[in-house]
Structure 1
Amino acid sequence: MEVKDIGLAAVMIISSIVITYKWLTRLGDSDPVIIISSMLLVGSLAIMIILLDSRLRNLEEALDAKERSIRINIKGVEENLETKIDELSKNTTSTIGEFSKRLYR
């Protein structure tokens, strides 16, 4: 977790406490249970968002690693295929050359 994530979570919790307190004082009695439950609600929401962000970053890193390995594998296959095609074209050229020599004899 980064410092900005923790800071934003703290801001979310503090703002929920202030909003709930002000809202309840305008309506009459302020119940500390409501204030604490709103703090827990917003705190759990903030933690859920932070954990979701962490999971998304882990998935992104895993996808990047797999993408790199696939690129390397494709490059290796491409090089192998290229050498085989070159050998095949040389063999085909030499075979065609032999056939053309036999035809002219």
Structure 2
Amino acid sequence: MESRDIIFSIVMVVSAFVLTYEWLGRFKYSPANALIVLSAMVMVGALAAMILSVDMRLRKIDHILEAKERSLRINVQSVEGNLDKRVNEVLVKMDEMMDSLDRTRYR
């Protein structure tokens, strides 16, 4: 979790406080009713925590996918190297057999 995420969460909670307090004051409702203001702050705080939680989960999944991609890439390179070796061995044997067939045909 980055510091800017925490700062944005704090800004969300403070703006919810100011918005709720001013909104209640505008309609001549008792702005001293702290329960409404507190519930708005808790709601926005929970929303910020949920967003941060989703962000952390997505980062974790991204790291897991990167690790799997890296291991898959290494495995593919290893299989490719083994396949190249075997194909070269088969080609060498085929060349030897072709040479031996050419020799026997020209005799």
Fold match by TM threshold 0.5: yes
Q: TM-score, normalised by structure 2?
A: 0.93
Q: Please give the TM-score of this superposition, normalised by the length of structure 1.
A: 0.95
- 1:53-77 superposed Cα distances (whole Å, 9 cap, x missing partner): 1111111111111111111111101
What is the CA distance between 1:8 and its match in structure 2?
0.9
For 1:47, which of 39, 46, 49 is the aligned residue? 49
1-structure distance, mates of 2:38, 2:100: 92
Superposed CA RMSD: 0.9
Provide the rounded CA distance (Å) in 1 between the counterparts of 2:106 and 2:3.
83
Is 1:28 the equivalent of 2:28? yes
5 Å-filtered alignment, 1:1-105, equals 1-29=1-29, 30=31, 31-105=33-107
Stretches of structure 1 that go unaligned for 5 or more consecutive residues are none
CA distance in structure 2 between the partners assigned to 1:90 and 1:103 by the alignment: 20
**In 2, Cα distance between equivalents of 1:4 and 1:90:** 62
- Report how far residue 40 of structure 1 moved: 0.9
TM-superposed CA distance for 1:2, in Å, is 2.1
Query: What is the Cα deviation at residue 4 of structure 1?
Result: 1.5
Query: Which contiguous aligned blocks of 4+ residues in structure 1 show a shift greater than 3 angstroms?
Result: none
Aligned amino acid, residue 89 of structure 1: L
Q: Which amino acid aligns with 2:27?
A: L
Between 1:23-32 and 1:70-79, the stretch displaced more is: 23-32
Task: Report how far residue 103 of structure 1 moved.
Answer: 1.2
CA distance in 2 between counterparts of 1:20 and 1:98 reads 93
- Give the Cα separation in 1 of the matches to 2:39 and 2:17: 9
Query: For residues 102 and 3 of structure 2, what CA distance do their matches in structure 1 show?
Result: 77
Alignment partners' CA distance in 1, 2:2 and 2:98: 68
